[in-house]
Every structure is written in C-alpha cells, then in structure tokens.
Amino acid sequence: MQLSRYWKRDIVILLVAAFVVAWANGDLEGLLGIPGWQSYTVRIINMCAINTVLALSLNLVNGFTGQFSLGHAGFMALGAYTTALLTMSAAAKDRVFFMTPLVEPLRKLTLPFLPSLILAGLVAGVFSLVVGVPALRLRGDYLGIATLGFAEIIRLVIQNARSVTNGALGLKGIPPVVNLWWTLGAAVLCYLMLKNLISSSYGRAFKSIRENEIAAQAMGIDLFKHKLLAFFISSFWAGVGGGLLASLLTTIDPVQFKFPLTFQVLLMVVLGGMGSLSGSVISATIVTYLMEFLRVVEETHYLGSITIPGVPGLRMVIFSLTLVLVVVWYPKGLMGDRELSAEGLKQLLARFRKAIRLKGESSS
Amino acid sequence: MILEVREMRMQFGGLLAVDRLNLALKQGELVGLIGPNGAGKTTVFNVITGVYAPTRGTITLEGKDITGMRPDLITRMGIARTFQNIRLFSRMSVIENVLVSLHWRLRSGVFDAILQTRKYRDEEAEMRAKAMDLLARVNLDSVADLPAGSLPYGSQRRLEICRALATEPKVLLLDEPAAGMNPAESIELMKFIQKIRDEFGLTILLIEHQMRVVMGISERIVVLDHGVVIAEGTPREVSRNPRVIEAYLGVEQHA
Ligand SMILES: Nc1ncnc2c1ncn2[C@@H]1O[C@H](COP(=O)(O)OP(=O)(O)O)[C@@H](O)[C@H]1O
Ligand SMILES: [Mg+2]
C-alpha cells in the first residue's frame, strides 16, 4: 500500500516534468499554440543537463570510489566521435572528408541516434578497461597519471587518424538530433542509475574502498573488480555525454577535448561535493550558467571612447582560482558527501522560518 | 589444526621482522601472541592475511595452502582480522560498516542492484537483518545509523570486531584490541572476546603487548621478541620464564 502511494507521487512528478519539458522544447506550440522557450535558454539547459551527466559520472570514480581519474575528456572525445561518425549521412561525410576519404565501412554506415549513443558509451567503456586494467591493478594512485596520458593520446590519435576522424579539421554537419528530451532524459537516467547503484551493496563497496582500502580488502572486497566497475560505468556515461555534446554542437574537433574540459568537470564535482550526487547536479547547473555569464570577460567592450579588450581564456583562469579557493577554504564543497532530500529541505525551511520569527520578535 | 604457520620469515630490506615462526592453532583455541613493541606481532598478522607474501615459509588453513594469496580471498576462506590502529569506514554508518563485510556473499549482479530487482531487494533485506542481528550481539544496534567515526573509542573497537565477525570467519585475528583502554575496560573487553569465541565457535589469535591483559583468557601464549619466538606455553609457564621477564624488563627500563 505504502509503495503504491510512493509510486503515485513519482508518477505525478514525472507527468508535471514531462509537461514542462514538452512546453519548453516547443512541442506544445503546434498542439496548443503555446510557444516554447527561447532557443538561447534551451541551449543553456541542454548544456546544464549534459554537464550534469559528466559531473555525476566523474563523481562516481573520484568522489565515491576515491580513485583519481583525469581522463574524462578522452572518454568524451571517444563518445563524441563515435556518435558523429555513426549518425552523419554518407553525403555529409563525403562533404567533410574531402582531404582524405573516410574508410569504407564507416563511409556508408548510418545508424539512428539512440543506438549510436549507446555505442558511444560502450566504446568509451571498452577503452576505460584498456586503461583501467593495468592502472588499477597496481597499488597506489596510478590512475591519475594513466588517465591523463591516455586522454592526451586519444586526442593525438584523433588528430592524426585522418581517414577515420578527419584529423585537425574536425567533423561538421553532425545531425542536430539532441533536444531537451534527450539531454534531460540522459541526465535523469544517469542520476537514477547512479543513485540506485550508490545506495546498493555495490555502492557500499565503492565507498569502503574510498574510506580505507586496506580494511575494505580485509573485509573480502575485491578492490580491482570494484574499481574497474566504477571506472567502466563512469566512462560509459562520459562517452554518452560526449555523444550528446557532439549532436548539440553539430561540429567537433580534437582541440575541444583538451585537458581544460576535464578540469571543468572536475571543478563541478569538487564544488558540488565529492560523493554527493545532488551536489553534482546543483554545481553542474551553477557552473554552466556562470560559464555563460562570464563570456563577457572574454569579449571586447566599447564604452564610448574607451575600449576594454576581452581576454581569451580568462574564464578558465577565474575557474581555476575558484577551484583553488574552494579546495583551500571549503574542501567539502556545497554538499560534502550528503544528499539533498525532501526531509533535509523541510528542516532547512523550518530553521529559516524560526530564524525569521526570532528576528521579528526581537525587533518588535 | 585449523591454522598452521610453518617456518615463516618476513624480511623488509635488511630488516628481519619475523624469523623461523611456527604456530599451530587448534579449533576453538584462544591463543595470545605477546611481545614488546616492534617484536613483529603485527607483521605476523599481515603475512597470515596476505598483506605481505612471506620471504619464506607456508601458511595453511584447514590443510589448504594460503601462502601469498590475495587478502580478500583469504578473508573469504575464513580468516578475519581487526587492526591495531582502528581502520573503520568512518564516514559510513555503523550498519554500513557491517554490511560491507557481507558484500562478498552477494549473489545479485550489478544490474540487479541498479534496477533494484526483486532478487536484489530480498537480498538487501536479508543482509540488513543479519547486520542488525550482529550489531545487537555486540550492543551496537542502538547506534546503527550513526557515522562510525562518531562512536566513542571502545565502541569503535567493538564495531571493528563485529565487522570482522560479519565475514563469517573460522579464525579471528585481533590486533591489540585493548590498546588505549583502562584496566577495567580491558577486562570487560576480554570477557567479551571469550563470549564471542564461544558463541561463534571461533578460533582466536590475540595480539597484546601487555602480558597481564591476556593472562586470564588465553589457553596458550606465544612470546615474540625481535621477530623470534622466545617462549611458548600456558600463561603460568610463560610468566615465569626468565627470557620473557628479561625481554619485558628490558622494555620497561626504556619506558
Ligand atoms: N612494511 C614494512 N616495511 C618495513 N618495515 C616494517 C614494515 N612493517 C613492519 N616493519 C618493521 O618490522 C618490525 C616489526 O613491526 P611490527 O610487526 O609492527 O611490530 P609489533 O606489532 O610487534 O609492534 C618493526 O621494526 C617495524 O618497523
Ligand atoms: Mg603491532
């Protein structure tokens, strides 16, 4: 009985959410004449959702399992290129690959978006095993170095394997399939999957490794297996995130997937709290919005006769400084390893009300 | 013999931490392993549980050779341990600490856990019931949902023992469980150790550096000094052994 009541609540929430998404996405315009949101707002929400997927997945390894991966951009690149090459039409590929033709089976092959996206995740996942199997077998923290090197190698391979990736020229004309349904759908799915995983016995195994590796092993936990499992799932979602990004941007090139991309996701994880899923969701949203607003510092402004030159890359400097400040002054981030819950919100609200009431009493 | 150590040697670079160690535990026995600081006691545990592979010698559990096996596999074969410096999963709750020890028996796969299938939920409920039962037996059920790191010191020691019990061991290795306790607390802990030995049908090897603490409850005591066994026997025999007295006096003069 209790369960069915919970389900009812979930269904109501889902229906309301679906309605809002349909409206924002512009699906209701033809049906009810209600226009969708402005494309600019929709674009930022799409980015928020994709960044949520990326932050959640990196948090699984770095926050919950206590391993240090720095290879997210590499796995995203694998996912982005896989999605692009599988969804582009033969004609679009021929237009792009004018210097070096694309190798044969790929040239004619075009798949629908969903299977391409799943394959993007799987390709990234398989490569995570290639890095993870040697790096995670060793004791100590070799994963950081191995993944950092791996991501750079992937990028260089992409830059040079022109008959597959079109090299430094990148890919253009990737079908813009992605909309709010895809990005928010992926974010919700990723969140639910990780939430179930983390609260399960497997999640406890991950956290025990983070807390004390020697004790975890002494309690019968297979360290290698569980680290690899977390790393695989994390990389799978990085690949999916890369695929979504490719379709959202419609153009990709190797330069996009340099280390600053990983750094940006890492910032979201640390800012939100290592080991907090809701923290990652919140901070992915905040950081995405800030990245948008801070565009002004990289643009040139004219105030009458005064010209303020924009500084390219200044946003990254600001974010690096933010990360340093957070790590030094507020190492737990927004949420620490706690989760946002309805119960917690109620308590916060109650405390807030009480504070207001007290203030009211003291001033009267 | 349930656990047998033969001719164990453990060398760290030029340092011979343990040498020519022979040890045999009978089913149900409670044996004390004592010796001054730095004698090599913890190293013996680390080698038995697979943290280090011995330089020489073999370890067998119920006749099966477990020398140099991976620690998690040794635990699954039936040897559990606690640590001299407490190693709880501090940011996890008390019950979660116990649940981690039950994980290796989980039959549900990772997809069952992600999809929260019936199979998984049933197993999770079973695990929680089992963990609660164990916590009740060590009087920690009332704090099951608190972070393990927030418990008082004595409770943390008991939780470490409880967590080791949850792996369902045949042999339990306790590394200075009474460290940092006052005499009254130590006596209570020793009674508790005897009780769990009887209730769970365990064989226990207990490290302690104060002889007095283990005198009352050990059937047999092995004394280690500078990595070698210098005496072995009943508590009474060992406490009268001049070499033991000398080893301990030597330490006390330093202290
Ligand atoms: N991993 C290690 N590397 C080097 N030396 C070690 C290591 N572990 C223990 N030792 C040395 O072995 C000796 C015995 O240590 P230990 O077994 O911890 O003694 P006890 O537990 O009896 O106090 C000490 O001299 C210690 O410094
Ligand atoms: Mg010791």
Helices (H) and strands (E) in chain B, counts: 10, 10
Average pLDDT, chain A: 88
Domains, chain B, ranges and CATH?
3-78+169-253 (3.40.50.300), 87-153 (no CATH)
**Ligand index nearest the alpha carbon of residue B37:** 1
The reported pTM is 0.91
Cβ–Cβ below 8 Å for A215 and B88: yes
pLDDT at res. B195: 92
Q: Which residue has the tokens 């240090």?
A: A68
Segment (H or E) for B208: strand B203-208
Q: What is the pLDDT of residues A294-343, one digit of tens each?
A: 887 777 778 778 887 777 778 878 888 888 888 888 888 888 888 887 77
Q: What is the pLDDT of residues A181-203, one digit of tens each?
A: 999 999 999 999 999 999 999 99
| Residue of B51, B52, B86, B110 to mutate, testing the A interface (most A Cβ within 10 Å of its Cβ) | B110
Domains, chain A, ranges and CATH?
38-363 (1.10.3470)
ipTM given for this complex:
0.93
Which chain B residue lies closest to A197 (C-alpha atoms)? Answer: B114
Average pLDDT, chain B: 92
Which chain A residue lies closest to B127 (C-alpha atoms)? Answer: A201
CB-based contacts of A330: which residues, under 8 Å, 6+ apart? none
| Residue of B49, B51, B52, B87 to mutate, testing the A interface (most A Cβ within 10 Å of its Cβ) | B87
Q: How far is CA A175 from the centre of its chain?
A: 21
Atom number of ligand 1 nearest to Cα B45: 17
pLDDT at res. A363: 62
**Integer Rg of chain A from CA:** 22
Cβ–Cβ below 8 Å for A221 and B104: yes
Q: What is the pLDDT of residues A246-277, one digit of tens each?
A: 999 999 999 999 998 999 999 999 999 999 99
Q: Any chain A CB within 8 A of the CB of B104?
A: yes
Task: Report strand pairing: B220-225 vs B228-233.
Answer: antiparallel
Give the helix ranges, DSSP H, for chain A: 2-24, 27-32, 39-59, 72-87, 90-96, 104-108, 113-137, 143-160, 162-165, 180-199, 201-211, 213-218, 223-249, 259-272, 277-293, 314-329, 342-363
CB-based contacts of A162: which residues, under 8 Å, 6+ apart? A99, A100
Q: What is the pLDDT of residues A135-187, one digit of tens each?
A: 888 766 788 899 999 999 999 999 998 888 888 888 999 999 998 999 999 99
